[in-house]
Amino acid sequence: MSLNAQAAPSDAAKTAMGARFANEFAIDPANLRAGLLKLILRVGAFIGVLVYLPSVWVAMQRGFIGVIVVDTVSVGTLVGLLVFDWFSLRVRSTLICLVFYAVGLSMLIYVGPISQIFLFVFSIVAVLLLGAGPGLWAALLSAVSLLVVGGLGFAAPEMLNHQGVNTNSLVEWVVISLNFGLFNVLITLAVGTTVTAVNKALAQEIVSRRSLDRERLVLRTLIDALPDVVFTKDSGGRIVNCNPAALAFFKLDREEQAIGKTAFDLYPPDEAAPRHADDLLVMAGRSLENREEQSIDGAGNRQWALTTKSPLRDAAGETVGLIAISRNITDRKRAEAERDSTLTQLQIQIERMPLGYLLMDRDTRVTRWNPAAERIFGFTESEVLGKSPMDIIVPPNSRPSAVSTVDKSKPEAWRRTSSWRL
């Protein structure tokens, strides 16, 4: 086995592992805060457990019993919130914020300046999980806590020592606390505003997407229920989707079997070429409306379809394919052929029969005059078309009575139609 062959499974395994890792930490936009809480709990619990023992060991060496207690409670709370989701989202979010606050406060007392970062994290986590309002209150609480702890002299000595000179100046500590509070509020406000805007945009996007999905579902249901063949193609003439009627027409079982196929895959060569040429014209911007097309089905029978094809455009108005609707009109074409055959046979009978045949419109003007009528009355059809028989074959002195007789003999149905026969 070659090295490349051995490396291939390893690469595939790495790709699968990366995809699994990404899925584990992915956040559903529809539930942003719930996803953030889950992510924070997972990462926080993992890191908390990882650093718990070293932190406890260092705290024991230095006699920081308070740090051991806070670390133990914090890690236990994170793990408990991760494993058990008995409480509501807001309660769990509040508890995890309190964990960061407790850690920050204990670090402020025992460790020194670097502990302020935990109070920043407390404010940021609050604004992410609870919103802008609670986030600003958290920033205010952090600043007040810093002021009170330092003012009462409980802060770590490093925070009260300025350039090696130990000072207990309350004014100086108030200035430190105000600066901390100012930056904390600004950062929290920026994050809160951003998160609020993102939440609003996501909410609008989700509503729009759900509305679009509903419209697509309704449209797809309607298309699938149509007896007409409906399909769309991309700019390469390949089928993108189609309805069950199209699958039946193409003699396919599943839509996946039709996707990607062109006219040359679905029709005989002599039919595929003109259909593909029509597709190219449509994708060039020209619609094809009510085109009668012929094809031969699997049993060798001729089929007729009335086809309409229109360009399919994207949001920018660029043609990206086409949509086609084709209705089977084979029965109609057969009925038309039968009707034409019947009319032809009737016409032949009229031409050959020995009786005179006159067809007149509502105003008793001749519209049809067969050869027998020509022989009987002595006038050719061209001589009587558009004229009243009363003016041609009835003597002038007999015309009034003849007209009265003809009017009385007209059936009522003939009076309501545009022509009648004698």
The confidence score (pLDDT) of residue 418 equals 46
Pick the closest to residue 237 from 211, 205, 263 (CA basis): 263
Nearest to 324 by CA among 297, 281, 288: 288
CA dist 365 and 403 (Å) reads 13
pLDDT at 310: 92
* The residue type at 289: E
Burial class (CB within 10 angstroms; exposed 0-12, middle 13-18, buried 19+) of 262: middle
* pLDDT given at position 351: 85
One-letter amino acid of 16: A
Non-local CB neighbours of 365 within 8 Å, separated by 6+ positions = 386, 387, 388
CB under 8 Å to 281, separation ≥6 — which residues? 288
Structure-block tokens of residue 139: 């920033």
Alpha helices by DSSP H, 111-169: 116-130, 132-151, 157-160
Distance CA(399)–CA(405), nearest Å, equals 10
Rounded distance between C-alpha atoms, residue 280 and residue 236, angstroms = 9
**Which residues partner with 306 through β-bridges?**
292, 327
pTM for the whole structure: 0.54
CB 158 within 8 A of CB 101: no
- Write out the two tokens for 72: 């133990």
Is residue 71 within a helix (H) or strand (E), and if so which, with residue range?
helix 65-83
Strands (E), 26-181: 161-162, 165-166
Distances (CA, A) of 403 to 60, 385, 406, 421: 131, 18, 5, 15
Structure tokens at 405: 């007789």
Q: For the chain, list the domains and their CATH numbers.
A: 23-203 (no CATH), 226-333 (3.30.450.20), 354-421 (3.30.450.20)
Q: Using an 8 Å Cβ cutoff, are 294 and 304 in contact?
A: yes
Per-residue pLDDT of the chain (422 residues), as tens digits, is: 444 545 445 565 556 555 555 555 566 666 777 888 888 888 888 888 888 888 888 888 878 788 788 888 888 888 888 888 788 888 888 988 888 888 888 877 777 667 778 888 888 888 888 888 888 898 888 888 888 877 776 666 556 554 444 445 667 777 777 888 888 888 888 888 888 888 888 888 888 888 888 998 998 899 899 999 999 999 889 999 999 999 988 888 999 999 999 999 988 888 888 889 999 999 888 888 888 888 776 667 788 889 999 999 988 888 999 999 999 898 898 898 899 889 888 888 888 888 888 888 877 788 888 888 888 888 888 888 888 877 777 777 766 776 676 666 665 545 444 444 55
Q: Residue 26: its pLDDT value, please?
A: 62
Cα 183 from Cα 189, distance rounded (Å): 10
Show the tokens assigned to 312. 């399919």
pLDDT at 164: 45
CB-based contacts of 35: which residues, under 8 Å, 6+ apart? 26, 27, 28
- Helix 170-225 and helix 116-130: axis angle, to 10°? 30
371 SS3 class = helix
Distance CA(49)–CA(237), nearest Å, equals 58
Q: In what order do the strands lie in the sheet with 239-242?
A: 239-242, 229-234, 319-328, 302-313, 288-296
